[in-house]
Structure 1
Amino acid sequence: MVAVSARLLLVLLLGAGFGGGVWLLWAGLWPTEPVELQEPRLAKWWRHNRPPRPRRRAAGAVLAALAALVVTGWVVAAPIAALAAWSLPGLLGRDKEHERAVARIEAIATWTEQLRDTLAAAAGLEQALLATAATAPPSVRPQLATCAERISRGQRLPDALRELGDDLADPLGDLVVIALTSASGRQAGRLGDLLAGLAGSAREQALMRTRTASSRARIQTSVRIVVATTLTMAGALIILNRPYLAPFDTATGQLVLVLVAALFAAAFGWLRRIATFTQPARLLAVPTPEAAR
C-alpha cells in the first residue's frame, strides 16, 4: 500500500513537471505583447499636485509643526500646523498655474497668427515653421526651436509635428498640430482660414479664463480674510488668554480640535476644487491602435 502511494505520488510529480515544462516552452516561443507599466496612483497624484518648491514647503511645514507643539503643548496641533503650512500658501497665493496656462494659450494663438501670415506670403509649411520659430512668443519658443532643429536635421515633417505636440502638451496646440499635419500630407488651400479660426478660438478661451479668474478673485479674497481672522484669533487666545483654551488640553478637546481642523480642510479643499480649471482632454495623447501594437 505504501509502495502504491509512493508510486502514485511520483507519477503526479512527473506529470506536473512535464506540464510545467510544456507551459514554459510555450511561453518562451510564443510572442506576447509587451505589458505597459501603469504609473502608481501616488506618483500620478504627486505629479499633478506637486508644489513649485516642495523642499522649502516641507521645511516650513516642519517648523510650523514644532512651533505649534512647543507653544500649545497639544499633540494634534503639530500635524494640523504642518498641513496648514503645506497647503495654505498654494490656496491663498497667486494662481501661477492659471497664469502660465493663459500665457501658453495666448502664445499659441500669436504663433498661429504668425504662421498664417507667413504662409500667406507664398512660403512653404517647413519654411514657415523655421521662420516663426525664432519670432514666436517666449512661452512656446523653446518647443518651436526644437521642432525647427528636428526639421533642419532632416526629420520627416509629420514626425516633427507630432513631437511638437508632445512638447507643447496643450489641447489647443494639439488642434494646431493636427491641422498642420493634415496640410503636410496633402494640399490644404484653406489652411490659412483654419489657422485664423484656431487663433480666434484661443483668444476667446484666454479671455474667458481671465474673466473667470477675476470673478473668483473675490472668493479668494474672502478666504484670505477668513483664514487671517481665524489664525489671528487663535494666536491671540493662546498668548493672552490661555485658560480659555484649557478644555482642549483633554483627550476630548483634542478630538474636537481634530474635527474642527478637518472641517476647515474640507472647506478649503472644496474652494480649491471649484477654483480649478478642468483641462479638456488632449487629442494627441490618445494612443492609436498602430501605436499600441
Structure 2
Amino acid sequence: MGAFVGLMLGIGVLLVWQGFTPAPKKVRTHARLNRMREELAQAGLTGITPHELIGLQVLSAVLVALVGLILTRSLSVSVIFAVFASAVPRLLVTRLRHRRQSDLRELWPEVVDNLTSGVRAGLSLPEALSAIGIRGPEPLREPFRHFGTDYRTTGRFNESLDRLKVALADPVGDRVCESMRVAREVGGTDLGRLLTTLSSFLRDDARTRSELIARQSWSVNAARMAVCAPWLVLVLLATQQETLTAYDTPTGTLILVIGAVLSLIAYRLMIRIGRLPEDKRVLR
C-alpha cells in the first residue's frame, strides 16, 4: 500500500512539473509561424509566407543599419534605428489586418442578407453560398466564387466549406459557415430567422465600433506622436557629429537602449489600453 501511494504521489508530482514546464522550442516555433500565417491571411496577404515576412524584417533592418552607418557613422544610433525598422513590416501587416477586418465588418451584413434572401427563395445552401460570388460585395466575391467552383468539382460540402473558412480567415465568416453546416446536417426552419438576427447584430456592432474609433482616434494618434517625438529629435541631432560621438560611448549607448525599451513599453501599453475587443476565431 505504501509503495502504491508513493507511486501515485510521484506521478502527481511529474504531472505538476510537466504543467509548469514550457512547451518545446519546436512546438512554440510552429505555433508562432501558424499565428503569423493567420495574420497574413487576415491582412489579405495570402501570397506572403511567414518566412518571407521574417526575411523582409531582416532586410529592412540591414538596409537601415547600412544607411545609418553611411550617413551618421554612429554604430549605436544605426543599430537602434535598425531594430525599429525590423518591426515596420510586421506593423504594416497588423495595420492592413485591422483595416481589412474593419472593411469586412461593414460588408458582412450585406452578405448575410443575400444568404437570407437566397434561403427564403428556395435555393439550396451551396447555391446560396455560391451566389455570393456573383451578387455579393466585391471584396468577398472571390472566396465564395472559389467555393462554388470547388463544390461543383468535388461535391463535398463540408470540405469546400472548410476551405472557404480558411480563405475568409474571419470570425464572422466562421460563424456564417458553421451556421450553414449545421443547417445542412440537421435541417430546420429557423435558419432564416437566425441569419436575420445575425445581420441585425452585425450592423449594430459595426455602428458602435465606428463611433468608438472616431472618438478615440485623436488620442491614439497623439500618443503615437508622443512615442515618436524623442526619436525624431534624435534624427535632427544626427546632423551634428559631436552629438553622435557622445552616443557611441557606453553611457550614450545605455541611454539609447533604455529609451528604446521605454518607448516600446509605452507603445504596447497605449495599444493595449486603446484596443477595442476583437472577435476571435473560435469556430475554425
Change in CA separation of 1:221 and 1:190 when aligned onto 2, cut-off 3 Å? same
Q: CA deviation at 1:194?
A: 0.6
Q: Distance in 2 between matches of 1:250 and 1:153?
A: 67
Q: CA deviation at 1:259?
A: 1.4
Q: Distance in 1 between matches of 2:167 and 2:94?
A: 26
Change in CA separation of 1:100 and 1:230 when aligned onto 2, cut-off 3 Å? same
Alignment correspondent of 1:66 = 66
Which structure has more helix as a fraction of its residues? 2
Q: CA deviation at 1:45?
A: 5.8
Q: Distance in 2 between matches of 1:270 and 1:202?
A: 29
Q: CA deviation at 1:213?
A: 2.9
- The answer to whether the 8 Å contact 2:109/2:202 transfers is yes
**Secondary structure of 1:140's partner?**
helix
Q: Distance in 2 between matches of 1:130 and 1:41?
A: 33
AA of the residue aligned to 2:163: E
Alignment correspondent of 2:237 = 237
- Give TM-score, length-normalised by structure 1: 0.69
Alignment correspondent of 1:179 = 179
Q: Distance in 2 between matches of 1:213 and 1:226?
A: 19
Q: Distance in 2 between matches of 1:154 and 1:70?
A: 58
Change in CA separation of 1:42 and 1:164 when aligned onto 2, cut-off 3 Å? closer
Q: Could you report, residue by residue, the CA deviation over 1:79-108 in whole angstroms, capped at 9, with x for unpaired residues?
A: 201122233576599932212002223333
1:43 paired with 2:18, answer no
Q: CA RMSD in A?
A: 3.3
Q: Distance in 1 between matches of 2:264 and 2:145?
A: 44
Q: Distance in 2 between matches of 1:41 and 1:94?
A: 18
Q: Which runs of 5 or more structure 2 residues have no equivalent in the other structure?
A: 1-25
1:197 paired with 2:187, answer no
Select between 71-80 and 242-251 the one with higher mean Cα deviation.
242-251
Q: CA deviation at 1:277?
A: 5.2
Select between 275-284 and 181-190 the one with higher mean Cα deviation.
275-284
Q: CA deviation at 1:144?
A: 1.0
Q: Distance in 2 between matches of 1:49 and 1:150?
A: 24
Q: CA deviation at 1:234?
A: 2.1
Q: Distance in 1 between matches of 2:152 and 2:244?
A: 71
- The answer to whether the 8 Å contact 2:57/2:90 transfers is no
% identical equivalent positions: 25
Q: CA deviation at 1:260?
A: 1.7
Q: Distance in 2 between matches of 1:129 and 1:93?
A: 29
Number of residue pairs matched by the alignment: 248
Q: Distance in 2 between matches of 1:219 and 1:132?
A: 39
Change in CA separation of 1:264 and 1:172 when aligned onto 2, cut-off 3 Å? same
Q: Distance in 2 between matches of 1:165 and 1:92?
A: 24
- The answer to whether the 8 Å contact 1:115/1:129 transfers is yes
- Give TM-score, length-normalised by structure 2: 0.71
Alignment correspondent of 1:252 = 251
